[in-house]
Structure 1
Amino acid sequence: MNQLSNFVFTVLGIIFRHPITGATIVPILENGEIVLVRRQDTGEWGLPGGIIDWGEDVSTAAKRELWEETGLEIIEIRRLVGVYSARDRDPRIHSISILVEADVQGNLAVQDNLEISEAKAFSPETLPFGDLAHDHERQLKDFLEGKTTLA
């Protein structure tokens, strides 16, 4: 029993003392618009994305999260925009966001209504800067400036 409890405490220590990794997407429609989602908890806009599930790779997580939050499908992942790991980037937990740019298609239809209230396409000129969740303003600006960021 002592070995089991030591193992459990070790695993819990690893889980709760290390950042959670997620995939985040800059979804680009054929007309060049960028799709954002409105969060249920804060009402802020943000990029679609979320935690990578156990056994999942980054591109699979990106595809799943995009579909759950927007109803869209990834046609092609264009590039890695950046990896964002600052402790304060997400007020809830210490998380690492792997941001990719992707061509997407389909009809906007939020699948996960518990987390997301709305999905909407914006031209780059009409993005709601000043009303974005987490560090998504920085992520979008890095994307628009063509940067590849490790932060």
Structure 2
Amino acid sequence: MADYTRDIRNIVGNRPLILVGSTIIVLNEKKEILLQHRSDTKEWGLPGGAMELGESLEQTAERELFEETGLKAIGFEFMDTLSGEELYFKYPNGDEVFNVICVYYAKNTYGELSMDGESIELKYFSLSELPSILDKRAKLIIGKHLIQRNKHRW
């Protein structure tokens, strides 16, 4: 958990927060999507996380991509901002959030995959063989931006 979010949680406890952050779509040369098997929820999801004080959303995407996957990108393409009731999430520890997610596509990623404490595993999946335990936010983003719109231009 980021320092800012941790500080706020110390004040408000588990009550719902509005958290703004970035989620990153990473595709390899086979057009497979990178997913993170999360240690907190035990679900597969997309790399990303909450914005820190003073960061831009693109800087958040860049930092979270590196922290959670070990990868860097030549650049990021903004895709969408998602918010609303469907982005409510309750973590196993009881923390509640309403996410405001800015979705970015990481262009020309490079580096070695490496995990931080938030990951059990990092793995690329074809869109036709996604894991069954996929978090609802990832389902929404993948469905909206890769499957329904058939956006395979990257």
- TM-score after normalising by structure 2: 0.74
Task: Quote the residue 2:112 is aligned against.
Answer: 107
Task: Quote the residue 1:71 is aligned against.
Answer: 70
Question: Residue 76 of structure 1: CA displacement?
Answer: 2.4
Question: Residue 83 of structure 1: CA displacement?
Answer: 1.6
Q: Which amino acid aligns with 2:85?
A: R
- TM-superposition CA deviations, 1:121-151 (whole Å, max 9, x none): 11222222x4112421011011113389xxx
Q: Which amino acid aligns with 2:104?
A: V
Q: Which amino acid aligns with 1:97?
A: I
Structure 2 residue 98 is the aligned partner of structure 1 residue 94: yes
Structure 2 residue 118 is the aligned partner of structure 1 residue 120: no
Distance 1:123 1:142 in 2: 16
Q: Which amino acid aligns with 1:86?
A: G
- TM-score after normalising by structure 1: 0.76
CA pair 32-75 structure 1, distance change in 2 beyond 3 A: farther
Distance 2:111 2:128 in 1: 22
Check whether the contact 2:62–2:72 (CA below 8 A) recurs between aligned residues.
Answer: yes
CA pair 146-74 structure 1, distance change in 2 beyond 3 A: farther
Structure 2 residue 31 is the aligned partner of structure 1 residue 32: yes
2:138 to 136, 139, 143: 136
Q: Matched residue pairs, number?
A: 131
Task: Quote the residue 2:81 is aligned against.
Answer: 83
Distance 1:147 1:99 in 2: 16
RMSD over aligned CA atoms reads 2.3
- TM-superposition CA deviations, 1:68-112 (whole Å, max 9, x none): 1111111222341x22212342223112111112222222111x2
Structure index of larger Rg: 1
SS of aligned partner of 2:85 = coil
SS of aligned partner of 2:26 = strand
Q: Which amino acid aligns with 1:95?
A: N
Distance 1:59 1:133 in 2: 23
Question: Residue 31 of structure 1: CA displacement?
Answer: 3.2
Distance 2:111 2:129 in 1: 21
Q: Which runs of 4+ in 1 moved over 4 A?
A: none
Question: Residue 18 of structure 1: CA displacement?
Answer: 5.7
Q: Which amino acid aligns with 1:131?
A: I
- Structure 1 regions of 5+ residues with no counterpart? 1-11
